[in-house]
Amino acid sequence: MTQTTAIRTTAIIAIVDDDDSVRSALQSLLRSGGYQTRTYSSALAFLDANVSAETHCLVSDIQMPGMSGVEMCERLVSMGFHIPTILITAYPGAAPALSAHNPELIACLSKPCDADRLLSCIEAALLQRH
């Protein structure tokens, strides 16, 4: 078993998006890639689930009711959790600039996401974490 395969089969990827169809599609894609997934309908639902410590990578929509994906990332860092995060958005103009000041943000992808690009970003995020 390669390091990448071992990471893939043990890593937990959290998917946070207020759109049921997007959550379902991402979950199906990631499960077909061998990843364990958990889905949440909002940033607050993810934070309330108290699973940050066991989450290896986070895929989150940027614009959601209540708390944005960027605000959730900032909250996680302030709580001491440094989870590699891939943001997705239907509004590319709203995408934050990726910078060295927020190394948790691995990529920002436009919806609909290119499956290969998303999987590549997740793999890079998990390798970075290990």
| Domain residue ranges in the chain | 3-129
pLDDT the model gives residue 54 = 93
Residue 108 structure tokens: 């920002």
Query: How many Cα atoms are found within 13 Å in the side-chain-facing hemisphere of 40?
Result: 25
Query: Along the chain (130 residues), what's the average pLDDT of each consecutive run of 10 residues?
Result: 60 96 96 95 97 94 92 91 92 61 80 93 83
CATH of domain 3-129: 3.40.50.2300
This prediction has a pTM of: 0.89
Give the three-class secondary structure for 87.
Answer: strand
pLDDT the model gives residue 104 = 82
CB 115 within 8 A of CB 59: no
CB 56 within 8 A of CB 13: yes
